[in-house]
Structure 1
Amino acid sequence: MKRRDFLTAASGAAIAASASSLPLPGLIRRAHAAGSGNTVKIGCLFSASGTMANIEGRLNYVTKMAADEINAAGGVLGKMIEPVITDPGSDWPLYAQLGKQLIQQEEVAATFGCWTSVSRKSVLPVVEQNDALLYYPLHFEGEENSKNVVYLNSPPSSSVLPAVEYLMSEEGGGAKRFFMLGSDYVWPRTINQQLKGYFKSKGIEESAWREEYVPLGFSNFQTLINQIRDFADQPGGQPIVVLTVVGNSIPDFFREFINQGISAFDVPVLGLDAVEADLEGLDTAPLVGHLNCWAYLQNAPGAKNQEFLAAWAKYVDDNDVPFSADTVIDPMVSTYDGVHLWAMAAEKAGSFDVPEVRAAFDGLSFDCPSGYNITMTGENNYVKRGVFIGSVNEAQGFDVLWQSEDTPDPLPFSPYMQG
């Protein structure tokens, strides 16, 4: 089905947590009472306050859900998993401080954490200096390959480039010009450097793209969307927006897009960081057809996904979780996968010691709710995943527009990176 046919069909289709449930920024609390030698701790380094709270805060709960699931099956090496929860408060230096506390004071066996690349970069020297493990659940810009980080999601070769290539194809609408708008930090700037290198390799002139950045937490997009409108009116072929703003800036951008009456028929938006939770509370009928790309979509087909969605809904109801029981996003699933992959590695190693656990990564596989069997190899700590391109629907979600046939080999370093 061509993109315009898909849009025509689709358009006709009908931890902001309480203070008592999560800690104040900078504090650590245990999710379960400490046992007497019968538990193994894992760290949670996800913000439940600040600009990233609405999306990142959910990952604390899905970590606990995965731990409860493993504990119900007997735990790991005879021990129950004890998550230790933190709240870095969307404050990048605080991630490093709390990561150090988790490793040195709480003596966690592994840490699951970070959303933005700047938070991961803040924690990276901490885990490397302490030879610890950080499981990072976001697709990201690549250009990194640390033995102390498990990259649970996709680098650009497996996510961003397939989506851009799709939009440039006849089926995807034949995009010729690109307005790149991002938050001003490492992930958007690095992605856009790679895209410019990719465009040059395709013979696309520099006049065919434009690059703009806004501060983290930026909300007033009226002027920028006027600029997008002006860009779209110029000659040279079909324009698209490659959107790499993050956090609360994503729904704010889409609200202004709605206000200015620009449709996906006119200027499609590829929201590289947009997830289902960003659409909550929006009237998505005017947004039908805008795109994202991730290794998981809530509407992914298959029994595994239905099982996961039901498990999350039950966990939310049973534990008074302050997030929607009906909304699941990719980084939640990647975090869930990561807890299981860590537990499998520890069991295989017969140890919680990092060198032994790391040596056990080669050959691990897990049936992800995405429907793909995800795997690890001995080459690096990147997880092989499938990829989806989603299209906004009227029900505040993304329909599956395209998905990869298999799980492509991740490339940590892009051949299109520009200096």
Structure 2
Amino acid sequence: MRKLLQQDEVAVIFGGWTSASRKAMLPVVEELNGLLFYPVQYEGMEASPNIFYTGAAPNQQIVPAVEWLLENKGTRFFLLGSDYVFPRTSNQIIKAQLEDLGGEVLGEEYTPLGHTDYNTVISRIRETQPDVIFNTLNGDSNVAFFKQLSDAGFTPDDVTVLSVSVAEEEIRGIGAGVLAGHLVSWNYYQTTDSEANEAFVANYKAAYGDKRVTSDPIEAGYFGVYLWAQAVEKAGTTDIDAVREAAAGLEFEAPGGLVRIDGDSQHTWKTVRIGEIQADGMIKELAGVP
């Protein structure tokens, strides 16, 4: 980040993945008055004048997912996440929400990033018999967890797993066979029904290969570029302060639907979508919340 802003003198940076990466970049981009468009869902509780957040905050992914699960799947929750800021903060929000809405937390487990042995966790799941596992694992740990959960004889009929870091690209890596029937919460799916998305998916596959898939972070990264371009056109310059001021309230017809930049928080207004993973690796939308 420091090299890009000081040596390369870039006008804007699009990227970042984990919340830890964003929190490492934040003080640098603020110190040097740069501009970062961050495209991944995160734990919220942050607003920087030098960051535009095009991924979901908890009220756009986690909170509506918990509400939907309570109405449709049960009240007994088991919380499983990787041991870093996003899962721990998200689960603080979930626990407060469940307490308020009459849900119950039967277990809460964290494992290091890259962890691969989930037999002990699965034993706890078997003992507590939750209705729902709310999954905030990140990265390769999802591969190990879902395969070991399936090997242990658990199916979506036995316990619903809802994930917030597993999208179409991760399904390719984990395997749709062990994920089919489990749930996810995002703002966009490759199967989202819109003319803009039909063109987006076709163009993406033409560029990167027919077997490649789109996903929520890909879509959020994509429309962030267009929102920045609109702000630059409106401001008539790439000057950071002018672009920030011009960006407030801008809208774009993204593949996932209309998005709008909130001028106060620099987060993005989006649509929430609860989905079910299908045997072909695609995601079927079950519910949408504007």
Classify the TM-score, shorter chain: over 0.9
3-state SS of paired residue (1:366): strand
- Equivalent residue for 2:83, pick from 180, 184, 192: 184
Q: How does 1:66-145 map to 2 (within 5 A)?
A: 99-145=1-47
- For 2:283, the aligned partner's letter is F
**1:282 to partner: Cα distance:** 4.7
- Equivalent residue for 1:376, pick from 261, 269, 279: 261
Q: How does 1:252-331 map to 2 (within 5 A)?
A: 252-317=144-209, 325-331=211-217
> Is residue 199 of structure 1 aligned with residue 98 of structure 2?
yes
Choose 1 or 2 for highest CA Rg.
1
Aligned CA distance change for structure 1 residues 222 and 309 (closer, same or farther; 3 Å):
same
**1:380 to partner: Cα distance:** 1.9
- For 1:187, the aligned partner's letter is F
Q: Distance in 2 between matches of 1:165 and 1:378?
A: 28
Aligned CA distance change for structure 1 residues 281 and 134 (closer, same or farther; 3 Å):
closer
Query: What TM-score results when the alignment is normalised by the length of structure 1?
Result: 0.67
> Is residue 214 of structure 1 aligned with residue 214 of structure 2?
no
Q: Distance in 1 between matches of 2:202 and 2:224?
A: 19
**1:204 to partner: Cα distance:** 4.0
Q: 1:392·1:398 contact (CA, 8 Å) conserved in 2?
A: yes
> Is residue 240 of structure 1 aligned with residue 132 of structure 2?
yes
**1:250 to partner: Cα distance:** 1.4
Q: How does 1:380-395 map to 2 (within 5 A)?
A: 380-395=265-280
Q: Distance in 2 between matches of 1:199 and 1:282?
A: 29
Aligned CA distance change for structure 1 residues 145 and 282 (closer, same or farther; 3 Å):
closer
- Equivalent residue for 2:246, pick from 360, 363, 379: 360
- For 2:124, the aligned partner's letter is Q
- For 1:213, the aligned partner's letter is Y
Q: Distance in 2 between matches of 1:243 and 1:402?
A: 19
Gaps of 5+ in 1: 1-98, 233-237, 318-323, 407-419
Q: Distance in 2 between matches of 1:286 and 1:139?
A: 24
Q: 1:376·1:382 contact (CA, 8 Å) conserved in 2?
A: yes
Query: What TM-score results when the alignment is normalised by the length of structure 2?
Result: 0.96
Q: 1:139·1:155 contact (CA, 8 Å) conserved in 2?
A: yes
Q: Distance in 2 between matches of 1:140 and 1:288?
A: 25
User: Which runs of 4 or more aligned residues in structure 1 lie more than 6 Å from their structure 2 counterparts after TM superposition?
Assistant: none
**1:261 to partner: Cα distance:** 1.8
**1:377 to partner: Cα distance:** 3.1
- For 1:314, the aligned partner's letter is A
Gaps of 5+ in 2: none
Q: 2:70·2:103 contact (CA, 8 Å) conserved in 1?
A: no
Q: Distance in 2 between matches of 1:203 and 1:280?
A: 36
**1:260 to partner: Cα distance:** 1.3
Q: Distance in 2 between matches of 1:296 and 1:187?
A: 20
Q: Distance in 2 between matches of 1:257 and 1:107?
A: 48
3-state SS of paired residue (2:226): helix
Q: Distance in 2 between matches of 1:286 and 1:249?
A: 14
**1:298 to partner: Cα distance:** 1.0
Provide the alpha-carbon RMSD of the alignment.
Answer: 1.4
Partner deviation per Cα, 1:112-136 (whole Å, 9 max, x = no partner): 1111101100100001111111100
> Of Structure 1 and Structure 2, which has the larger fraction of its residues in helix?
2
